[in-house]
Amino acid sequence: MKKIILTILSVCFFTGFLLAQDKHNITVKANKPGAEIQPTMWGIFFEDINMAADGGIYAELVKNRSFEFSKPMDGWTVQPVGDRPYQPFQKQFGEGTVVIVNREDKNAVNPRFIRITTNNATKDSLGLTNEGFRGMGIKKDMRYDFSLMYRNKTPGLKMHVELVDSTGTVLGSTMFTPREADGNWHKQAETFTANATEAKAKLTIWFEGSGIIDLDMISLFPEDTWKNRPGGLRADLVQMLADLKPGFVRFPGGCIVEGRELATRYQWKKTIGPVEDRQLIINRWNTEFASRSTPDYFQTFGLGFFEYFRLAEDIGAEPLPILNCGMACQFNTAEVATLDQIDPYLQDALDLVEFANGDVNTQWGAVRAKLGHPEPFNLKMMGVGNENWGPQYIDRFKIFQKGLKEKYPQLKIIASTSAEYQGERFNYLNTEFKTLQPELADEHYYNSPSWFLQNTARYDNYDRSGPAIFAGEYAAHSSHTGNTENKNSLRTAVSEAAFMTGLERNADIVHMASYAPLLARVDAWQWKPDLIWFDNLNVYATPDYYVQKLFSNNKGTNVLP
Ligand code: AHR
């Protein structure tokens, strides 16, 4: 009853707000409960945009830890800098002291590493500095876990690991002496505690002694990750998501699913297992908007599909993966896999269900168990494509629907309705869906606050013969996308709230909704507005966030006429 009352209150509040001073009587028939509001009604949309994953919720502090960015030394500087008549790169990098080696023939997924050659180096004579993601956020008295992969043949080389602030003051340090000298790759970790808080720290590794050492996967994580998991997620950001009590987590996007071209589409199988085996690719948002170019934006997949499933489980939400169906982004290359090449794409989808739900004796269930989660993740739904449209989408959707339903009849399938919520593309797909009857159709609306206010009744008289609605991406934009003036505000938040009353009122057909995008770094965004903003040390909720929280935390059980 408490929840029903809260629902009534929120309807009354927003209706009252919108009608300003007009006097209206609202009659609520509390004894005539209508449609059930789905437990999944209010969820979250996660996409690695605005540095949401690398440089964001994935707590790794070292940028370009495996030297796989297009420019292998991106984020790294050879030390000392500035006391020589030439740039250190000219002298040291590529000339024998510091060399990037490519072993693609032996390791296609993590081909590069760095080779350091020293001859009687003293501490401070040769070092490697990592700048982090626009600095590293370091907290006083926090433990930091430094680790790397190394290979050397002769013992004797030591490393001094230091966190420093902008003035060079050391905030914490440790010694790193390789334990093995057998010419094989080894992983080793050391921990140390920071003595001060600093938003823009850097990490330097100084080399001492003589020898040749190969390094890869140079990494630094804080101790206070979510649930204190080593190599985990930023706890403050996950807490913000948990506080929303979302009904589902949609991942990994968004356009990330599609890729600018098929080669850079999201492939979940490449995102699980040891992090050093997860092949890095460029993030599509690196180059998407010329005015917001982010050359250091890549996907390491440290936050991969296993972590996404576990995140959803941790915060009590249903997992909702969206998979590529053989189509790259139609706003970019629009590449498609031909229909006779679709099998591997469908197989990825089938295998994902087995990965999430399969018994530990199945091939992919065993992989999940090996990763530490023998219990199933209880995957119940899957999206086929993101913002895809046209007959080419329908052709591929049919193959996915048939293949998935044959093997997993209970799985709910979510279809794309293009990037539009009306017009030719949208209407064509909706007509097809009347026949194909996917369980849900994914509608997206990015529009002005006025549009949201004027469309609160969008679903009141909606055709109820088709799929249920997943309002999979929406946000009120105060200006056009990419414009710096496009901001979160009380106005955008209240207009979304008004619209959301219309979604909830039509809970018989609107089963799910998620604001988008979710996260944005204040100094590395490509798209705004966004629900939650953060920097290296802080997290900031927007008015739009509080609207989501208000609705989600006070979700009613039934709609009342
Ligand atoms: O939310 C940002 C982008 O908007 C998503 O990646 C895409 O699906 C939509 O166009």
Question: Does ligand 1 have an atom closer than 6 angstroms to the CB of 517?
Answer: yes
Question: Does ligand 1 have an atom closer than 6 angstroms to the CB of 266?
Answer: no
387 is catalytic: yes
pLDDT of residue 94: 54
* d(C-alpha 456, C-alpha 452), whole Å: 6
Specify the residue with its C-alpha closest to ligand 1, atom 9.
Answer: 254
Question: Ligand 1 atom closest to Cα of 45?
Answer: 1
Specify the residue with its C-alpha closest to ligand 1, atom 4.
Answer: 254
- Token pair 């994914």: residue: 442
Cα(314) to centroid(ligand 1), Å: 25
Q: Is the dihedral of CA 447, 448, 449, 451 positive or negative?
A: negative
Question: Ligand 1 atom closest to Cα of 256?
Answer: 6
* d(C-alpha 473, C-alpha 454), whole Å: 18
Cα(518) to centroid(ligand 1), Å: 11
Token pair, residue 524, equals 């590395």
CB 488 within 8 A of CB 527: no
* d(C-alpha 313, C-alpha 162), whole Å: 36
pLDDT of residue 303: 98
Summarize pLDDT for 495-547 with one digit per residue, the tens: 999 999 999 999 999 999 999 999 999 999 999 999 999 999 999 999 999 99
pLDDT of residue 23: 86
Cα(331) to centroid(ligand 1), Å: 11
Token pair, residue 220, equals 């630094």
Q: Among 442, 473, 531, 544, which is best to mutate for testing ligand 1, by the most ligand atoms less than 8 A from CB?
A: 473
CB 327 within 8 A of CB 392: yes
* d(C-alpha 53, C-alpha 41), whole Å: 25
pLDDT of residue 154: 85
- Token pair 């690196």: residue: 286
Question: Does ligand 1 have an atom closer than 6 angstroms to the CB of 48?
Answer: no
Helix, coil or strand: residue 504: helix
* d(C-alpha 275, C-alpha 371), whole Å: 12
Token pair, residue 234, equals 């930023």
Instruction: Provide the pairing of β-strand 127-130 with 136-138.
Output: unpaired
Cross-strand bridge partners of residue 79: 127
Question: Does ligand 1 have an atom closer than 6 angstroms to the CB of 516?
Answer: yes
Low-confidence residues of the chain: pLDDT under 70? 1-21, 81-96, 482
Question: Does ligand 1 have an atom closer than 6 angstroms to the CB of 219?
Answer: no
Catalytic residue among 47, 60, 307, 387: 387
Instruction: Provide the pairing of β-strand 98-102 with 76-79.
Output: unpaired
Q: Is the dihedral of CA 236, 513, 455, 426 positive or negative?
A: positive
Specify the residue with its C-alpha closest to ligand 1, atom 1.
Answer: 517
Helix (H) or strand (E) holding 98: strand 98-102
| DSSP string across 15-78 | HHHHTTT--------TTS--SBPPTTSEEEE--S-TTSTBTTTB----TTTTS-SSSTTTTEEE
Cα(189) to centroid(ligand 1), Å: 38
Specify the residue with its C-alpha closest to ligand 1, atom 5.
Answer: 254
Q: Is the peptide bond before 254 cis (omega within 30 degrees of 0)?
A: yes
* d(C-alpha 272, C-alpha 277), whole Å: 8
Summarize pLDDT for 146-194 with one digit per residue, the tens: 999 999 988 889 999 999 999 999 999 999 999 999 999 999 999 999 9
pTM: 0.94
